Amino acid sequence: MLTTPDHLCLEDFLTGRGASFAPHIVPLPYSTLLNARALPRGTYVFGDLERLSGRDLERAAGVWQQLAARGPGVRLLNPPLKVKQRFELLRALRQHGVNDFDVYRLDEGRSPRRFPVFVRSEQRHNGVVSDLIHDAPALEQFLEGWRARGHGLAGLILTEFSGEPDARGLYRRYAAFNIGGRIIPTDIFFSRRWEVRGMDDLMVVDEHTVAEELRYLRGNPHEAQLRAVFDLACIEYGRVDYGIVGGRVQVYEINTNPYLASGPLGGEMRAAVYEQFARDFLAALHTLKGPDGGTSLAVRPADEGQRRAALRGWAKRAVYGALWWGGPERGYGQRVRWARRLIQRGKRVMGDP
């Protein structure tokens, strides 16, 4: 499982209910992958793609291509350059008639087709950054306040709200995994808030919600629609979050490295739900296991020119940063001249012309 260093999202599950599978899965940071000279045979899940820079996505795709050329013994999930990330996916789902709501980048100048709307990050998974915004004047007021607090608009998307409460006033957020083509229902979170999140103080859990969750996990009622969504997204491992509005599946996002808790969120009333999901999830993971004892695969590291260019860039930033933060005792021009001399000396040490 390839992840960014700060997002080992399977760790809690693998130290708890999923401990039996822990020997078969290794969280591998992209920084290690991108500098490896050899990699073992097995299954590689390219997760956390939305958190990679454009350059790192390209480098990850290069490793994918090298692994793909090795033939039997290697299985690859989530091709880095084909996976549709949040904005691209939601726009495509709208264009294909799956979603009835649209999304907009705040810096693209398009006005929403309908209200209410809300604002969230294009890459992050830490919730929304606004409450529901009900009309154009309220949106303009929010944007003015956002800029006044020193924030820019890049990286934010505006989403038309799509959700509906039931007769009890409860909103639902459904979730399901795709694990190599197997659709595994995960849970239904219930909340009285329009933004439904898996947090104990926001969840509604009672005998009715638990019974509905168990029916959902055992019946897998949206399997065909969700498989088509994952196919459109080019995602072979990940979790889709969605709702049912007007009887239709409405997809909110797909996370390629979702968090899994070590036990049931919302308390022990949901223990049977968690256990049902854990059994199905582990059974699906076992189908991804690669051959045991496979030989290492040679992988070309980044070429020496790229390494040296990266080192030079790091050294330049470090020198300029040190001189900048060193204080104003000397004039800016003098500090720049010193920085250039240090960089030239570093090049001679590295053997560069």
- Tell me which residue of 336, 287, 100, 273 sits closest to 180, measured CA to CA: 287
For residues 310 and 304, what is the distance between their CA atoms, to the nearest angstrom?
10
76 — pLDDT class (breaks 50, 70, 90): very high
Q: Which long-range contacts (CB under 8 A, 24 or more apart) does 168-171 make?
A: 170/204, 170/209, 171/196, 171/243
- Find the farthest-apart pair of alpha carbons in the chain and give their distance in angstroms, rounded: 74
Query: Tell me, what's the pLDDT at 33?
Result: 85
> What CATH code would you report for 171-286?
3.30.470
Amino acid at the residue 157: I
Query: Tell me, what's the pLDDT at 346?
Result: 67
Q: What is the pLDDT of residues 151-163, one digit of tens each?
A: 888 889 999 999 9
**Greater model confidence, 251 or 150:** 251
**Greater model confidence, 232 or 329:** 232
Query: Tell me, what's the pLDDT at 308?
Result: 62
349 — pLDDT class (breaks 50, 70, 90): low
**Average pLDDT score over residue span 243-258:** 96
217 — pLDDT class (breaks 50, 70, 90): very high
**Average pLDDT score over residue span 221-225:** 98
For residues 34 and 303, what is the distance between their CA atoms, to the nearest angstrom?
11
293 — pLDDT class (breaks 50, 70, 90): very low
Q: What secondary structure letter does DSSP report for 121?
A: E
**Average pLDDT score over residue span 113-123:** 92
Of the candidate ranges 22-36, 106-120, 133-147, 308-322, the one whose mean pLDDT is the lowest: 308-322
**Greater model confidence, 28 or 296:** 28
Structure tokens at 10: 């399977």
Return the H-helix or E-strand segment holding 96. none
Strands across the sheet containing 156-160:
103-105, 156-160, 117-121
pLDDT at 284 over 70: yes
pLDDT at 229 over 60: yes
**Greater model confidence, 282 or 325:** 282
For residues 66 and 57, what is the distance between their CA atoms, to the nearest angstrom?
14
Q: Regarding beta strands 103-105 and 28-29, do their DSSP bridges make them parallel or antiparallel, or are they unpaired? A: unpaired
**Greater model confidence, 317 or 325:** 317
- Tell me which residue of 234, 173, 250 sits closest to 209, measured CA to CA: 173
> What CATH code would you report for 102-160?
3.30.1490
For residues 10 and 47, what is the distance between their CA atoms, to the nearest angstrom?
11
**Greater model confidence, 116 or 312:** 116
28 — pLDDT class (breaks 50, 70, 90): confident
> For the chain, which residues make up each domain, given as ranges?
102-160, 171-286, 304-350
319 — pLDDT class (breaks 50, 70, 90): low
Contact assessment for residue 187 and residue 208, using Cβ atoms and an 8 Å cutoff: no
Return mean pLDDT, the chain: 87
Structure tokens at 117: 């709307």
**Average pLDDT score over residue span 182-209:** 92
Contact assessment for residue 274 and residue 17, using Cβ atoms and an 8 Å cutoff: yes
Contact assessment for residue 232 and residue 84, using Cβ atoms and an 8 Å cutoff: yes
Q: Which residues contact 265 (CB under 8 A, 6 or more apart)?
A: 198, 199, 200, 203, 274
Q: What 3-state DSSP class applies to 265? A: coil
Contact assessment for residue 232 and residue 249, using Cβ atoms and an 8 Å cutoff: no
Helices (H), the chain: 11-15, 30-33, 54-68, 86-95, 136-148, 207-219, 223-233, 271-286, 304-325, 332-350
